[in-house]
C-alpha cells in the first residue's frame, strides 16, 4: 500500500481519519494524498441509482459546503508535518503528503482517483445526519474498486494491531483479505472468525490460515455458533480485543432503496468500529 487517499475538510472527524492515514502511512512507507472537493453540478460520472436513492433530496448539501479550501489544506499540512511527512502539491516518491484540490462530486473523484490508489480512508457518517459523509463513504466503496477503511468519528487507541477477519468462504471476502495483506503483515494478532458450519463451496478457515502463513502471518481461528452473523462478529471482535475488522462488502443493488444489506450495512452504520471493506 504505497498510496493512501483521504477526502479532507476542516472537521474533527476528518482529523481522526487523517491521523489514522498518516499513522498507517508511516508503518507502510506510504504516500498520503489529501483531496479537498468543491462541488460541481455537471459531474460527468453518474452516481449509481442506489446511492441517489439513499441521499435523495440531499444533493444540494455539497453545494452548501462551508468548509474553506485553505483551512482544509492547513489541517492536512499540520497533521502531515506532525507525522513527519513533507507537504507537497506535486507527486513524488513515497512517503510524501500530496495535497490536491478538485472540483466535482464524490462519485467523480473516486471513479478517477480511486482506481489509482491503494487504500481510501473515510469517516463513518454521524448518526442521524452526515449526508455528505455518507455520500463519500458509499461512492468510495462503489466507484473505486479499492479497499476502503471506514473509521469511527472518534479516535481509537490503536488501529491494525489486533485484526479480526470476517470469513464466510466467499470470493468477496478473499479479495478483501488479499487487499489487506500489507496491514495484516504488520499486525501483532490476527483472528479468522467464522459462524456456523463451513459447508459452502470455497476455502475454509484452515485454507486461509495456510495462505496467510506463507506471508508470515500467524492467524487463529475463532469458531462461533451464534444465531446470526452480526452477533457472532460483534462478540468475537470484543472478545479478541480487536481494533480492526476486515471483510468483503456485499450489495443488494437490485433494491433501489437499499444498496447494502445485513452484515455490511450494520458494520457501516451501527458497529462504530474501524472496518476495512472491499466491494467488487
Q: What is the pTM of this model?
A: 0.86
Average pLDDT score, the chain: 85
CATH of domain 162-278: 3.40.50.620
pLDDT band at 39 (very low <50, low <70, confident <90, very high): low
Common-topology check for domains 3-151 and 162-278: yes
CA angle at residue 271 from 239 to 149, to 5 degrees? Answer: 100
CATH class of 3-151: alpha beta
pLDDT single digits (tens) 117-146? 999 999 988 776 567 788 888 889 988 999
CA distance 95 to 98: 9
**Smallest Cα–Cα separation from 244: which of 133, 156, 139?**
156
Start-to-end C-alpha separation, the chain: 18
pLDDT computed for residue 243 by the predictor:
96
CA distance 166 to 245: 7
Residue 233 in this model has a pLDDT that exceeds 50: yes
pLDDT single digits (tens) 42-81? 443 344 444 344 344 344 444 344 447 899 999 999 999 9
**Smallest Cα–Cα separation from 85: which of 121, 120, 34?**
34
More confident residue, 105 or 208: 208
Domains of the chain by residue range:
3-151, 162-278
Residue 64's contacts (CB-CB under 8 Å, 6 or more residues apart) are none
* Beta pairing, strands 148-151 & 275-278: antiparallel
Amino acid at each position: 500500500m504505497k498510496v493512501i487517499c483521504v477526502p479532507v475538510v476542516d472537521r474533527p472527524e476528518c482529523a481522526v481519519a487523517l491521523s489514522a492515514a498518516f499513522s498507517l502511512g508511516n508503518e507502510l512507507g506510504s504516500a498520503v494524498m489529501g483531496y479537498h472537493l468543491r462541488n460541481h453540478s455537471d459531474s460527468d460520472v453518474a452516481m449509481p441509482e442506489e446511492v441517489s436513492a439513499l441521499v435523495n433530496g440531499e444533493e444540494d448539501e455539497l453545494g452548501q459546503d462551508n468548509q474553506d479550501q485553505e483551512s482544509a489544506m492547513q489541517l492536512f499540512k499540520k497533521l502531515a508535518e506532525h507525522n513527519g511527512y513533507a507537504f507537497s502539491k506535486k507527486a513524488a516518491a513515497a512517503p510524501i503528503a500530496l495535497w490536491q484540490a478538485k472540483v466535482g462530486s464524490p462519485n467523480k473523484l473516486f471513479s478517477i482517483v480511486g482506481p489509482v490508489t491503494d487504500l481510501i480512508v473515510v469517516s463513518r457518517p454521524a448518526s442521524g445526519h452526515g449526508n455528505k459523509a455518507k455520500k463519500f463513504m458509499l461512492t468510495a466503496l462503489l466507484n473505486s474498486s479499492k479497499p476502503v477503511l471506514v473509521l469511527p468519528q472518534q479516535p481509537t487507541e490503536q488501529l491494525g494491531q489486533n485484526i479480526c477477519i470476517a470469513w464466510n468462504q466467499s470470493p468477496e471476502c478473499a479479495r478483501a483479505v488479499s487487499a489487506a495483506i500489507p496491514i495484516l503483515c504488520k499486525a501483532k494478532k490476527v483472528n479468522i472468525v467464522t459462524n456456523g458450519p463451513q459447508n459452502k463451496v470455497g476455502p475454509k478457515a484452515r485454507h486461509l490460515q495456510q495462505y496467510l502463513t506463507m506471508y508470515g502471518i500467524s492467524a487463529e481461528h475463532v469458531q462461533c455458533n451464534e444465531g446470526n452473523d452480526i452477533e457472532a462478529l460483534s462478540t468475537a471482535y470484543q472478545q479478541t480485543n480487536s481494533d480492526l475488522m476486515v471483510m468483503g462488502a456485499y450489495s443488494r443493488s437490485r433494491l433501489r432503496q437499499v444498496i447494502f444489506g445485513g452484515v455490511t450495512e450494520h458494520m457501516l452504520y451501527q458497529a462504530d468500529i474501524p472496518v476495512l471493506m472491499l466491494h467488487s
